[in-house]
Chains A and B, each alone.
Chain A
C-alpha cells in the first residue's frame, strides 16, 4: 500500500466512480420498479391495460408440413405388374361381400378392446353416438396426445353417421392422378350416385370434361389449409369460396390425425358456420384410420401413412355396392407408355418416403382383378 498510487483510495467523485454510481442507481431503480409495479402485473395475469396480450392461447403455431397424401408416385413404374389386372372386368358381388366381411372381421390382435376392424358405417366419422361427451380421443399418430371432447366440439359432431351400409349403388372415388387428364371421364363420374374427392382438387370448367363436377364428400388436408389459407387465422373468405365450388359436398377432415391438425380442422367448421354455408363438416374417427391402416398393413401396404385415397376407397367398399376408382395411378407413365403429369392439375411431386403409393395401387389392381372394385385407367368410353 505504501508505494501505491496515493490517490487510489481517495477518488471520491472521479469519473469512474460517478459512472459506477449511476449504473448502480439505474439498476436498482429498475429492479425496484419491477418489484413495485411488477408484482401487480404478474398477479393479475397480464390482463389489464391498453394492450396487454398473451401468447395466442392454445395455438401451437408450428408450421407443419404434413405431406400431401394425394396420389403419389413411386419410382419404379415397371409394366410387368401391369398385365396382372388386364382382364375383362366383371362385377363379382359374392367376392365383394366376402371382402366386406373380411374388412369387418379382421381381428386386431394387439388391442383386445377392438373386436372389429374399420366398420365405416358407424365409425368413419366422429359422431355424437360413437364419441360421447367427455371422451378422451386418442390421436392417430401422436399416441401420447389425447383430445378431450368438450361441449363445444361435441356439438359440431353429427348425431349419427349420415350413411349406412351399402347405401349407394355406384360410387366413384376420384383420385388426383395425372392419368385423369384428357380421360373424358367427367360424365361417368357425374353419373355415380356418390362421389368422393381427395384434397380439395380443382374442378373448374377447365377440368370438368375429365373429372366431372358432382361431389358428395371432399377431403381437405390440414396442411393445405396451413399453407394456402394461413391456418384460417387471417382471411377466411378465399377458403370459403374454394369450398363453395363443391356446392353441397360434405367436407371431411382428419382432425384427430395429429395434434397440429385439430385446431385448423375445427376452424373449418367455424368458417362454414360463420358464412352460413349448408355444407356439413365431418372428421375422420382416429380409430377408424388406425384400423384401416392396420388392415392394409396386413395386406402389405407398408407406409408411414396410407393415403387419403386408400381410406376413402376402403370406406366406399363398405358404403357402396359398386366402387369405381378414377385417377388412382401413381406412375410417371400411363398404361400405354405415355408420360403423364403427377396430378391432373399440376406436376408437383410429393415428398418421397411418406406414402407407399405403388403398393396401394397394386392392391387396388389386385382387387380389380378379383372383381371387387374397378380401377379406371384408360379414357372413358362413354361420350
Chain B
C-alpha cells in the first residue's frame, strides 16, 4: 500500500471507478465475493419464506370452513389472467394451427433442448383445439385419497366436461366415488413406461385399459422431456392401429411453460407443477364453472383421520419434485375467492349439493 495510492483513493473515488474500467487487470477481492456467495447460499438453503406444515394447513382449512359462494367476477378475472398469460383456448394442445411444419420448439422440461416439427409428427396433430369452447361446467378430478368413500361420483358425472389425471382406474368399485365419465385424461410417459413397457411389446393390455375412457382425449406431454416423446407418439400409433375411440392430444410445451411461469410468479417453488395444477389452470381458462375433486395432498382428512395417498392405492410420490402443499394453498385461495369450487367434504346428495 503506497501512500500515493491511498491519497489517490481519498481524493478521487469517482476516478477510481474510471481507472478500474480502464485497467481491467485488477486483483479479485476474495473476501467480498466469498461473503456474497455465502449469503446467497444461506438464503438458498434457508429461504425467507416458510411453508406452513400439514397440520397448520388442515387447521386453517377447518377454521375457514367449507362455506362457499360462486364469485363470477373472480372467475372472470382469473380467466382473463389465464388468457393473457397462456391462451389455453389456442395453445392447450399441439395443433396444426399453432405448430406449423418446420417450427422449432423447446422442450419445457429439458434444459436447452429443441425439436423441429417434421412431416410425420405434424400429421398427428388435429387441425385446431377440438373442444367446443367455452365449456360450461368442468370437473377436474384429482386422485387424492380424500375421494374414497366421498360418494361424489354422481356429482362429477353431472359436469359437462370431466378431466382426470394420469390414467386413474375407473372400475365399478370406484364409480360411486369418482364417477364414470371422462372427457380428457392425462397420461404421463412415465406411466406408459412403467405399466405398459413403453408399448414396445404387447399393446393389448394398454388398448383394453383405455376402453374405460371411451371417447375421451388422452392428453400427453409428449414434448416436455426427451425420453417422453417416443412413448407418447407410440400411444398415438397404438390407438390409431386398433381404431380406438380415444383421441390422443399432445400438450404444447409453450403452454406448459407459460403456465409454469404463471404459477412460479405466484410463488410455487417446485421443479415442476403437478399434472393436476396444469389441468386446473387449463380448466379455469377454458370453462365457465370449475369444480375440483380429490385435490388433497395430505395424509389426514379434515377430521384428522388418516387417508391413503390416492383413492386407489397408497403409493407415495417422490419428495422434492412437486410442491403439492403450495399448490394446494393456491387452489384453496382460488376456492376462497370463489373462482372455483373445491370439494373436500363427502358429497351429501346430488340434489342438495347442486342447489
The residues of A with any CB-CB pair to B shorter than 8 Å are 1-2, 5-17, 20-21, 24-25, 28-29, 32-33, 36-37, 40-41, 44, 47-57, 59, 233-237, 263, 266-267, 270, 273-274
Contact, CB under 8 Å: A53 / B231: yes
Neighbouring B residues of A8 by C-beta, 8 Å: 23, 25-27
Give the complex CA separation of A53 and B45 in angstroms. 28
Q: How far is A334 from B319 in the complex, measured between Cα atoms in Å?
A: 73
In whole angstroms, what is the CA distance A77 to B318 when docked? 69
Residue contacts A-B, CB under 8 angstroms, 5 given: A16-B26, A36-B45, A48-B190, A53-B231, A54-B227
Cross-chain pair count, CB within 8 angstroms: 166
- Which residues of B, 190-242, contact A by the 8 Å Cβ criterion? 190, 193-194, 197-198, 200-204, 207, 221, 224-228, 230-231, 233-234, 237-238, 240-242
How many residues on the B side are at the interface (Cβ–Cβ under 8 A)?
65
A283 CB to closest chain B CB (Å) equals 16
Closest chain B CB from A32 CB (angstroms): 6
The B223-275 residues at the A interface (CB cut-off 8 A) are 224-228, 230-231, 233-234, 237-238, 240-242, 271-275
Known: A57-B198, A274-B204. A37 touches B320 (CB 8 A): yes
Say whether B203 contacts A270, CB under 8 Å: yes
Residues of A within 8 A of B37 (CB): 21, 24-25, 28
Of the residues B19, B207, B272, B320, contact of A7 by C-beta under 8 Å = B19
Query: Is B74 at the interface (CB under 8 A from chain A)?
Result: no
Q: Which residues of B contact A6 (CB under 8 A)?
A: 2, 4-5, 8-9
Is A51 a contact partner of B190 (Cβ separation < 8 A)?
yes
Assess the B20–A14 pair: CB atoms within 8 A: yes
Which chain B residues numbered 96 to 135 have a C-beta less than 8 Å away from chain A?
109
| Cβ A50 vs Cβ B8 within 8 A | no
B49: chain A residues within 8 A (beta carbon): none
A85–B32 Cα distance when bound, in Å, is 96
Residue of B24, B36, B190, B207 touching A47 (CB-CB under 8 A): B190
Task: Tell whether, in the assembled complex, residue B109 and residue A50 are in contact, meaning their CB atoms are under 8 Å apart.
Answer: yes
Q: Which residues of A contact B189 (CB under 8 A)?
A: 51, 53
B133 to chain A minimum Cβ distance, whole angstroms, is: 25
**In the complex the two chains form, is B319's CB within 8 Å of A40's CB?**
yes
Chain A residues positioned under 8 Å from B274 (CB to CB): 50
B32 near A5 with CB under 8 A, answer no
- Which positions 1-51 of chain B face chain A at CB distance < 8 Å? 2, 4-5, 8-9, 16-17, 19-21, 23-29, 32-33, 36-37, 40-41, 44-45
* A1 CA / B233 CA spacing, docked (Å): 67
Contact: B40 with A233, CB < 8 Å?
no
- For residue B333, CB closer than 8 A to chain A, the reply is no
Chain A residue nearest to B271 (CB atoms) is A37
* Those 9 A-B pairs whose CB atoms lie nearest each other, nearest first: A53-B227, A6-B5, A48-B318, A14-B20, A11-B26, A11-B20, A21-B33, A7-B19, A270-B202
Q: How far is the CB of A335 from chain B (nearest CB, A)?
A: 46
Given contacts A6-B8, A53-B189, contact A236 B237 (CB under 8 A): yes
Whether A53 and B190, one on each chain, are in contact in the complex, defined by CB atoms closer than 8 angstroms, is yes
Contact, CB under 8 Å: A53 / B203: no
Q: How far is the CA of A47 from the CA of B224 in the complex (A)?
A: 15
| B226 in contact with A25 (CB, 8 Å) | no
A7–B1 CA distance with the chains assembled, in angstroms: 10
Question: Nearest chain-B residue to A21 (Cβ)?
Answer: B33
Let me know if B21 and A14 touch, CB within 8 A. yes
Which B53-93 residues have a C-beta within 8 angstroms of A?
none
Q: Does B26 lie within 8 Å of A14, measured CB to CB? A: yes
Q: Inside 8 A of A1's CB, which chain B residues have their CB?
A: 2
Q: How far is the CA of A40 from the CA of B33 in the complex (A)?
A: 30
Partner of B200 from the list A16, A40, A267, A274 (CB cut-off 8 Å) is A267
Q: Is there an interface contact between B237 and A235, defined as CB atoms closer than 8 Å?
A: yes
What's the Cα separation between A8 and B22 when bound, in Å? Answer: 11
